[in-house]
Amino acid sequence: MSTPAETQTDGRIQRSERSREAIVQAMLDLIGEGTLAPTAQQVAERAEVGVRTVFRHFSDMDTLFATMHERMMETIEDRFVAEAQQGPLDARLDRLVDSRTELHALLAPYFRSGADQRSRSLFLQQQHDRSTRAFRADLSLWIPEISKAPPEIANALELALSQEAYDRLRSGQKLSAARTRETIRALVHGIAGAIPRS
């Protein structure tokens, strides 16, 4: 049976965990809605906590970014394949383009936020490098044939399928999601034409 002191401590821990969760969700929601660099005041208001609570849970922005990243990875990790994909190359390319553009659409506001703040955050710089490696590894599972192609082919495919390329087409060139997907599809099939076919 818990003592009154233990019950009080448990209640404080639960409230603290709820506040921390609310802060992380508020940050994700604000960025997802287009606020690329939410202020502590905006986060506090959305989370319905005090500004001091925000800083008590997250003493620096990198700590908050790291927690947000963990949450995002939980939602997207199943979008990466775990083994080499089978079937005709053209069909795999189409599935890869569909998979990547869906993922990029989901990540777009967070990518823009990260790009906006990366120069000021060591964590975001390191995470961008890790993400680049993860997408490269995913590409090699979708298209194992690139191991037999000149490295320029793999580099070009990686670029065509990147979040940066997607964001350029959507934000810079103002293409619709559908036209962006088909533009990337055309690029990918064009580049993959140089992959040796067995």
The pLDDT tens digits of the residues spanning 73-89 come to 788 888 888 899 999 99
Alpha carbon of 28 to those of 42, 56, 105, 170: distances in Å? 12, 18, 15, 21
Computed over every residue of the chain, the mean pLDDT equals 87
Q: Are 2 and 10 in contact (CB under 8 A)?
A: yes
What is the CB-side half-sphere exposure of residue 188 using CA atoms within 13 A?
A: 28
Distance CA 104, CA 30 (A): 18
pLDDT at 180 over 90: yes
The pLDDT of residue 58: 78
Distance CA 177, CA 101 (A): 8
The pLDDT of residue 9: 58
Alpha carbon of 41 to those of 52, 114, 133: distances in Å? 10, 19, 35
pLDDT at 95 over 90: yes
Could you count the other beta carbons within 10 Å of the beta carbon of residue 45?
15
pLDDT at 7 over 70: no
pLDDT at 190 over 80: yes
**106-139 per-position pLDDT tens digit:** 888 888 888 887 887 888 888 889 889 999 999 9
The letter for the amino acid at 86 is: Q
The pLDDT of residue 83: 93
pLDDT at 94 over 60: yes
Q: Are 25 and 74 in contact (CB under 8 A)?
A: no
Distance CA 111, CA 187 (A): 22
% of the chain with per-residue pLDDT over 90: 44
Query: Using CB atoms within 10 A of its CB, is residue 96 exposed (0-12), middle (13-18) or buried (19+)?
Result: buried
Backbone angles phi, psi at 6, to 5 degrees: -65, -40
pTM of the model: 0.78
pLDDT bin (cut points 50, 70, 90) of residue 3 is low
% of the chain with per-residue pLDDT over 70: 93
From 29-33, 161-165, 190-194, the region with the lowest mean pLDDT: 29-33
What average pLDDT score do residues 140-151 get? Answer: 93
Taking Cα atoms as reference points, which of 58, 158, 162, 176 lies closest to residue 107? 162
Alpha carbon of 6 to those of 2, 13, 17, 18, 98: distances in Å? 6, 11, 16, 18, 52
What average pLDDT score do residues 54-81 get? Answer: 81
The pLDDT of residue 181: 98
